[in-house]
Amino acid sequence: MDAADLIAQLEALLTEERAAIVRLDGAAVEALAYRKKELAESLERRPKDERARLAGPVKRLVTRLRHNGVLLLQARAILSEVLMGPGVTMPRLGASTVHPTAPRAARHLSVRG
């Protein structure tokens, strides 16, 4: 499998991951994370010149990875608020970025759009 095939597979996984985030399907997101890691490691093992030729597609992958990461953080914040109340953090994962007195509409970002 060449680097272009690996990138195509990563792109497909990112699409699946976004759909899983929208469904709030944590198990699917976790399974996809392991598969993405395997593919990224395979890509890293490709010859440097082969990877260099794919700089554009890799940049697009990075953008999509970041976008999905933002969606995951927002989904986590929303679930934290639903489960524990406004402004309360979930244990072990850091401080909430939501101010407890912020208007309700300001505390939400859709993970579906």
Asked if residues 67 and 55 have their Cβ atoms less than 8 Å apart, the reply is no
Q: Cα–Cα distance between 112 and 92 in angstroms, integer?
A: 26
C-alpha of 50 from chain center: 26
Q: Cα–Cα distance between 46 and 96 in angstroms, integer?
A: 39
What is the pLDDT of the chain when averaged over all its residues?
79
pLDDT (0 to 100) of residue 111: 52
Question: pTM of the entire structure?
Answer: 0.69
DSSP 8-state assignment for residue 54: T
pLDDT (0 to 100) of residue 52: 83
C-alpha of 100 from chain center: 25
Q: Specify the 3-state DSSP secondary structure of 46.
A: coil
Residue 15 or residue 96, greater confidence: 15
- Going from N- to C-terminal start, the domains of the chain cover 3-107
55-93 pLDDT, tens digit per residue, is 889 899 999 999 999 998 888 877 777 777 665 555 554
